[in-house]
Amino acid sequence: MFSKILIANRGEIACRVIKTARRMGIKTVAVYSDADRDALHVEMADEAVHIGAAPAAQSYLLIDKIIDACKQTGAQAVHPGYGFLSEREAFAQALKDNGIVFIGPNPGAIAAMGDKIESKKAAAAAKVSTVPGFLGIIESPEHAVTIADEIGYPVMIKASAGGGGKGMRIAHSSAEVAEGFARAKSEAASSFGDDRVFVEKFIVDPRHIEIQVLGDKHGNVIYLGERECSIQRRNQKVLEEAPSPLLDEATRKKMGEQAVALAKAVNYDSAGTVEFVAGQDKSFYFLEMNTRLQVEHPVTEMITGIDLVEQMIRVAYGEKLAISQADVKLEGWAVESRVYAEDPTRNFLPSTGRLVTYRPPSEGPDGEAMVRNDTGVFEGGEISIYYDPMIAKLVTHAPTREAAIKAQARALDAFAIDGIRHNIPFVAAVMQHPRWIAGNLSTGFIAEEFPEGFSLPVPQGETAQRMAAIAIACDHRMNQRKRHVSAQMEGWRKVAFDRLRIVQLGAERFDGEVTEQGGAVIIAFPGRSVSVVSDWVPGEPVWHGTLDGVKVAAQVRPILNGVALGHAGAYANAHVYTQREAELAALMPEKVAADTGKFLLCPMPGLVKAISVAVGQEVKAGEPLAMVEAMKMENVLRAEKDVTIAKILAKEGDSLAVDAVIMEFA
């Protein structure tokens, strides 16, 4: 076996590969840019080599730098992770030419499958179901419009070398094709160094289902079941699960056998993924093949018990697969949430900064479930503007889908992050969504269920009462602490606290009387008593405990006269009062937020790529005002209503902070 491998990547996937290599007794080499000098993967690896400046094009995408690092450290093989150079044929070939093993498929398979246009031709030749489309090179917006008109709307414009939702646009009209073509080409060029795009029919109400394949260098290929990846935003996956709630055994077998046939047709010899777009009637069409490890590979590992990174390393070394198709058994259900540094309440715009608090839930058993957290960050670390905004992948595995979802919801409630915005409130809300729970999914789920964007759900019903009980329990614990403050004046009686507590939870009021009984706090609400047990102490960001014997976790942050709570996808400030305090609080004036309607504010830290208007220009609602690039994505900022431009305060090339004023309206 290899004695030393280099990981040509960063973040959580680099850390993930290091964990398996360490378990296999293989030494690891990390590479890092200026921005990642103090990153977790650098600390975890046995050695680390600096390869350039912060932008990926000046570090992680430089093939020569990676090869030099291998020679410098004596690394015999390279694991590329995903993204960056993972699907670049030239990289695999350059390693081969220098006597270094690529832990991935052979260059020929990458060439055939890594290019989306060529992969569709290969799929058609291998008798795999394919989507109608134009697989030639499209040179101009006019050409793209002509093709789209012939195929019929809607269509998908996709970067040939793309991935991760970048260089991809859905168009419902010729105007959208023209604009989408320009954006897709631009994003493709900046993200992949290849601006070729193609057009294909977009299947309405589709599901995204992919088959994990695994091949060796001896002609053996197997499939490891499927993953459902339909919960997407801007074509980037947010939630994944395995298996899919749509498929039956017969459809799974048919999809798996087609995926294997395609892999064998190109002599595929590593872990790879064949992606399909599926109709609600279980019909399916080949979408693309990803010739690398997928971001969402942990859900497959959890239901099969197979370490895909280990298999990739063994196959690259030349070993035969020790697993046959008959050995593959799918056990239980796994659900994965991608935790991103983005603000779901502001159209999921990227967020950067320091992780003041980073406390993921405990990994390991949670009752009948298992919790896993793949991450590449740490408390005190920084989320950079230069790379993908992923913080972690939170995975739960349980005997049933229902149990896996409940475990995921508990784990999300226990995941504390402060210092940046993140999408945990959103994925926590999805875990409670009836349509998600029912498994009635499509790639349009987010757009259909959150058409006005996402706002923090207000607690209602049973959730609201649980949160009120937690708020009272927190207040009671803080009062106990006050009773034991040192250096109190002698001779004065201890302060007696009222037993009645009034919780103002958003617009709802809960009255609860507090007593203690055998280590539990008993809260008597009208018509119901709740027994609360917890060892929470003030200052802890997560409240762990039981309510009537049921395990519960909640986000807790101190506010004046109470706590800010997050639980089961709902969020609210819980003010806890005595009766007299409640009477006085009702008389206090409310602070009104400032009106920012006359300004275009930069929605995230980013680079101004374009200013589309001039001072004095009248702009209609929906027309573009400016374009800001952040985390490799170009974001067009549009007018929300008819306006006249009074002042323009930013110019192309400016780096702006969040909420910086770009322009002012008359």
Residues serving a catalytic function are 288
DSSP 329: -
Q: Determine the Cα–Cα distance for residues 269 and 293; give it in Å rounded to an integer.
A: 12
Which residue type does 642 have? Answer: D
CA distance 472 to 192: 53
Q: What is the 3-state secondary structure (H, E, C) of 197-233?
A: EEEEECCCCCEEEEEEEEECCCCCEEEEEEEEEEEEE
Query: At what angle are helices 424-431 and 401-413 packed, to 10 degrees?
Result: 150
CA distances from 642 to 333, 597, 612, 666 (A): 50, 12, 15, 11
Q: φ and ψ at 597, to 5 degrees?
A: -65, -20
Secondary structure tally for the chain: helices H, strands E = 17, 40
Contact 30, 45 (CB under 8 A): yes
Type of residue at 6: L
Structure tokens at 632: 């490799």
DSSP codes of every residue in 151-172: H-SSEEEEEEEEETTEEEEEES
Taking a C-beta distance cutoff of 8 angstroms, is the pair 357, 539 a contact?
no
- Provide the strand spans (E) within 114-154: 133-134
Category of 23 on φ-ψ map: left (φ > 0), alpha (ψ -120 to 50) or beta: alpha
Angle of helix 116-125 relative to helix 107-114, nearest 10 degrees, comes to 90
Question: 27: which strand partners?
Answer: 4
* Cα four-point dihedral sign 433, 209, 173, 635: positive
Smallest Cα–Cα separation from 223: which of 199, 173, 257?
Answer: 257
DSSP-assigned letter for residue 130: B
Six-digit token string for 387: 């790379």
Torsion of CA 65, 390, 229, 369, to 10 degrees: 120
Long-range contacts for 361-364 (Cβ within 8 Å, ≥24 apart)?
361/394, 361/410, 361/411, 361/414, 361/415, 361/553, 362/414
- The values of phi and psi at residue 294, to 5°, are -85, 155
For residue 187, give Cα distances in angstroms to 123, 193, 633, 634: 26, 9, 7, 7
Residue 283 DSSP class? -
Tokens representing 385?
């503007």
523 vs 500: CA distance, rounded Å:
9
Q: How many residues does the chain have?
A: 666
Nearest to 251 by CA among 269, 276, 229: 276
What gap in Å lies between CA 102 and CA 72, rounded to an integer? Answer: 17
Residue 598, helix vs strand vs coil: coil
What amino acid occupies position 417? I
The alpha-carbon radius of gyration of the chain (Å, integer) is: 27
**Residue 59 identity (one-letter amino acid):** S
Contact 7, 31 (CB under 8 A): yes
Q: Give Cα separations from 527 to 57, 195, 506, 615 (angstroms).
A: 64, 65, 21, 63
